[in-house]
Amino acid sequence: MAEKRTPALLVEDNRYCPGCGHGIINRILAEVLEEMGLADEAVVSLAVGCGGLMMYSFGTDWIQAPHGRAAAVATGIKRVRPETCVIAYQGDGDALAIGFSETMYAAIRNENITTIIVNNGIYGMTGGQMAPTTLPGQKTATSPAGRDAETTGLPLDVIAFMKERKVGYLARGALHSAKEINKVKKYIRAAVENQQSGGGYALVEILSPCPTNWHMTPEAAMKHIEAEVEPRYPLGEFVKNGVKVNA
């Protein structure tokens, strides 16, 4: 068995709620950057949202982007410092509601950055309001009777929008089992490798639990992803090396 070492990039304990998916994803990102020898080259454009709590625990250079604008901030950095490895780390509300334009245009320009979108179906940081990714019927702080798809639309599948465009890499993973977590690591690694080889825009969306605002135990939240969320959001790699693949 390989030794379970804490990556040096995790400089402090994270500040997420127990059972939060952000902690797992931060750790995977730290491991990938270290394994690829990129800890010193990486710059993270941090979204506003629970992911922003990375500022306390993640040891790369980072910049706090305004809510929704992480992809535009990442663009500015990457264009003037092409030698850095630029990661935009965002929540689903951040990337897909207020920042949908900035997110899509980074993909449309095939910007050579790596974006991670943490899809927890909710606005975590502000206390569990409805997000673009909230499932039909899902109760949230602003959809107390459950999301009404008639008046608020269907959950947003960003990869469905992006895969028709010229981009480098697109994948969606989930955190509900060790097997899926390993795949997420593989996807994040591929997305960073894509940037390092100048492959253009790369995105990994991750189905992630928010036990606090789902009002579930961490275990129940993981089961919920498998049973309810995953059927809505197909997993796998959708574009690799700039070519569409059949996931």
Ligand X SMILES: Cc1ncc(C[n+]2csc(CCOP(=O)(O)OP(=O)(O)O)c2C)c(N)n1
**Residue 130 structure tokens:** 């409805």
Q: In the window 106-165, what residues touch ligand X (CB under 6 A)? A: 118, 120, 122-126, 131
Hey, is 121 helix, strand or coil?
coil
The dihedral formed by the CA atoms of 189, 48, 210 and 121, expressed in degrees to the nearest 10: -90
211's contact among ligand SF4, Mg ion, other proteins, none, with CB below 5 to 8 A by partner kind, is ligand SF4
Residue 55 binds to other proteins (criterion: CB under 8 A): yes
Q: Contacting ligand X (CB under 6 A), which of 15, 67, 232, 240?
A: 67
Other CB atoms within a 10 A radius of the CB of residue 36 amount to 15
Stretch that binds other proteins, among 75-83, 123-131, 137-145, 184-192 (CB under 8 A): 75-83
User: Taking the CA of residue 18 as centre, how many other CA atoms within 13 Å lie in the half-sphere pointing to its CB?
Assistant: 6
Q: Are 113 and 78 in contact (CB under 8 A)?
A: yes
Contact characters 57-96, Mg ion, x per CB under 5 A: ----------------------------------xxx---
Stretch that binds ligand SF4, among 105-113, 144-152, 172-180, 208-216 (CB under 6 A): 208-216
Q: Report d(CA 124, CA 214) in Å as an integer.
A: 9
Q: In the window 39-58, what residues touch ligand X (CB under 6 A)? A: 48-51
Residue 216 binds to ligand SF4 (criterion: CB under 6 A): no
Sign of the Cα torsion 47, 52, 54, 59 reads positive
Look at residues 224, 39, 239 and name the one whose alpha carbon lies nearest to residue 119.
224
Q: Which CB, 59 or 236, lies closer to other proteins?
A: 59
Q: Which CB, 172 or 189, lies closer to ligand SF4?
A: 172
Q: Which CB, 46 or 181, lies closer to ligand X?
A: 46
**Residue 55 structure tokens:** 């500022």
Residue 92 binds to ligand X (criterion: CB under 6 A): yes
Q: Are 225 and 174 in contact (CB under 8 A)?
A: yes
How many angstroms from the chain centroid is the CA of residue 85? Answer: 16
Using CB under 6 A as the criterion, which residues of the chain lie in contact with ligand SF4 when the complex forms? 16-17, 20, 22, 50, 120, 124-125, 210-213
Using CB under 6 A as the criterion, which residues of the chain lie in contact with ligand X when the complex forms? 48-51, 67, 91-94, 118, 120, 122-126, 131
